[in-house]
Copies of this chain bind each other. A is one copy, B any other.
Amino acid sequence: MTGSASTPSPTVGGLQSPVIPRDAHNPWYQRPAEPLEGDALLQVDAWWRAANYLSVGQIYLLDNPLLEQPLSRDDVKPRLLGHWGTTPGLNFVYAHLNRMIRQRSLPTLYIAGPGHGGPGMVANAWLDGTYSEIYSKIDQSTDGMRALFRQFSFPGGIPSHAAPETPGSINEGGELGYSLSHAYGAAFDNPNLLVAAVIGDGEAETGPLATAWHSNKFIDPMQDGVVLPILHLNGYKIANPSVLARIPEDDLLALMRGYGHNPHIVSGGFDGEDPLLVHARMAETLDTVLNEIAAIKQDAADGTLEGTPRWPMIILRTPKGWTCPVEIDGLPVENTWRAHQVPLASARDTEAHTRLLESWMKKYKPEELFDSAGRPTPFVTGLAPEGYLRMSATPYSNGGLLRRELRMPDFREYGVDVTAPGHETAEATKVLGGWLADVIRLNPDNFRIFGPDETASNRLQEVYTATDKQWNAEILPVDLNLARAGRVMEMLSEHQCQGWLEGYLLTGRHGLFNCYEAFIHIVDSMFNQHAKWLQVARSIPWRRSVSSLNYLLSSHVWRQDHNGFSHQDPGFIDHVVNKKADVVRVYLPVDANTLLSTYDHCLRSVDYINVVVAGKQPGPQWLSMPEAVAHCTRGLGIWDWAGTERPSDEPDIVLACAGDIPTIETLAAASLLRKHLPELRVRVVNVIDLMRLQDETEHPHGLSNRDFDTIFTTDKPIVFAYHGYPWLIHRLTYRRAANANLHVRGFIENGTTTTPFDMLMLNNLDRYHLVIDAIDRVPGLGSKAAALRQEMQDARMRARQYTREHGEDIPEVAQWLWSGEDGVGFDRQNYSARDEVGADQTGGDNT
């Protein structure tokens, strides 16, 4: 029933995993350009008209989809929603890519960057048959077309922009700016994939998009696919002209050359120019561009490529809202911002306006495009590629179909040998780096690490024993670990890291994003959109699971004493917790072994966003590998070796902790209490999986109240030392009996230059204050406790004074050793940040 009818079209809805033969054929070849003319030209135009007709229909019509009756007011939707302005351009590109794909059998992923282009993307998917295969009620019939129109931006229907519901899409058309980063993420490690990224001229003004052009310096012509940016200048945003449409053409061309591209301009459709002429120019340009790409690919294969290839790109200038009424009520509409949204908002208001809508739609000549049963004619559907080559059906847009499980080295073999708590010192992320190096070795083509120039600073440098940083600009002899191809992607743009990774994951691969904790807020909004995407995708049967998006936030708030206030912000966790519990997970491993266990879990998981905050500094190792695995599996638990309660007794107080630094301080406080108030029964609880604190009805990881009460008690005071803003703990435990007894210490906005321990003191999260907190909360402790309280206050004063004088922490803190009953301990001499600058001077700090 479509252009792909001749071959059995494996249904996307059926969820069969297609086999994509990576080397089946080389789709990159030069072919003589032939002018688009005759029936071939008319066919492209017919597709475009059909897509435009279907787009207008979605925005306006409730009924009478084929206009078989004169259009009446009641056929028009009462709420007119959607955006026409960008749609004809999106449809134009779609039609031309179809022609190209049919010629070259080139797997192509279409990224619709411009905002709210939903009607166009849906129209094309319906025309090529994919939509009906997935959504059987929206079949290629008059009824199907009616349902197609009705559901658009309608209660219980589909959104007005490309979204998870849209076949062929991996890029939301809601928040703008990420299309090009997504496109590059999709292209990495897909050497035979073309990613056609249509970029709106509004979107092009955003920061993330403006830097994403430089992604072309990170593409390896051998190993990666090709991104073809198509900058669609229709001149206007919501209410303003766009910048790139109003600069001199020389500047525009210079800008694109400056970005490293070879720009080609296609311009047309203005002042009533016949679209057929524009089709011919676009086809010629697309042929030229594909041949240019093929030449680069060939040179790369031949080893004759020198320097960074100058990839082509297309600048497409067409009128905003092209083909809509030129004027409405005496005001120019086509080719103005007035065509941005619903150009004829009054379509129900007067008979004349209803007639205008009808004549607009009839201009596309629906009778030539659809038969009387509402099916697109074979002439139209003949332009569609076959099967999975249809852009709406490409498995690259439903990455779970292509996703291969990671081959995972056994993380247990990479751990730190911990014979007793606090014996050994290790840098958690550095240990993780050793394991990640082997993850990379075992998965050379579907796992990448992304970071804004911080992978070494975050101590993952051992990955460079297995791979390099991919870099396709100039490489000098002095450079280390740079190569044309590599698994580590570093650019000083958190937006790019996030966008690349999202594109990589949504096309079926695996990865992680390592970043400073404070600056991950730069992508708060991208996180929002990805979380919303995952949430919606879970409810769409044909969308297969994709790998989780994994953050590794090292260089966290408690290690930013020296970088100062601007680098101190643990609020990303709070931001994350606002999203639907189904899709977010937050982990705070306390040492190398718990970090390994946590990350093994994260890399295996699907459809989540996992936030892992972990230390990069040398620190005490608390748990052996079996203990770490058990503790991570539980997510939280009592560390009985650290407390002083006797079996079968209830404790007098619970010292709880979450985060590596709070855990150290809590254990130090516990050991002070053990020494000075041995009769006080102290329970130490450590929390790795923050979501365990929530009620089981609120989060799938939530602990049952019974288990929670057993661990935290229902009536004993709890002093909780937490990594981030303290009130989040209250929020998570809101429904717990223990909440009323909870006293949380965490980060509060202060802002001064300090040493590490001084920073803890500023936040009352230091060991001495935790002891004071405990004393203040257990009633009837007597004079011994009062004396200890005073001693703790003196100790704080002493410690503060020392830092002011010497510029570093007081030795009793800096060299503090954990000692349990057996008196063993570890040397925390590296507590200070000094070692950050590293012996090899490469593990530098931030930006």
Contacts and interface: CB of A to CB of B under 8 A. Distances in A.
A432 B846 CA distance: 43
Interface in A554-603: 562-567, 569, 571, 574-575, 578-580
A578 B571 contact: yes
Nearest to A258: B255
A642 to B, nearest CB: 29
A163 interface: yes
B578 A242 contact: no
Interface stretch (A293-301, A372-380, A519-527, A768-776): A519-527
B807 A62 contact: yes
Given A521-B524, A807-B77, A845-B341, A207 B205 contact: no
- The 6 A-B pairs with the shortest beta carbon distances in the complex, nearest first, are A255-B258, A174-B566, A207-B207, A159-B564, A210-B211, A210-B210
Contacts of A240: 453, 469, 471, 482, 490
B493 A205 contact: yes
B258 A834 contact: no
Interface stretch (A19-27, A30-38, A332-340, A406-414): A332-340
A251 interface: yes
Interface residues of A, number: 152
A209 interface: yes
Given A256-B258, A473-B241, A563-B174, A525 B519 contact: yes
Contact of A238 (B328, B808, B845): B845
B243 A217 contact: yes
Contacts of A566: 159, 161, 163, 172, 174-175, 529, 532
Contact of A160 (B307, B524, B564, B734): B564
Nearest to A495: B207
Given A258-B258, A562-B81, A844-B238, A803 B207 contact: no
Interface stretch (A4-12, A454-462, A626-634, A707-715): A454-462
Nearest to A832: B79
Contacts of A469: 240
A104 interface: no
A347 to B, nearest CB: 10
A153 B834 CA distance: 12
A807 B525 contact: no
Interface in A463-487: 469, 471, 473-476, 478-479, 482
A65 to B, nearest CB: 15
B247 A308 contact: yes
Nearest to A338: B841
Contacts of A346: 839
B78 A562 contact: no
Contacts of A562: 79, 81, 153, 160
Contact of A214 (B205, B307, B535, B749): B205
Interface stretch (A124-132, A356-364, A422-430, A723-731): A723-731
Given A205-B211, A528-B571, 12 more contacts: A79-B832, A83-B845, A116-B846, A154-B807, A206-B492, A238-B456, A238-B845, A240-B482, A252-B258, A337-B844, A580-B749, A727-B734
A669 B154 CA distance: 27
A847 B172 CA distance: 12
A239 B474 contact: no
Nearest to A308: B247
B453 A202 contact: yes
Contacts of A202: 453, 492, 847
A496 interface: yes
Nearest to A751: B536
A345 B803 CA distance: 20
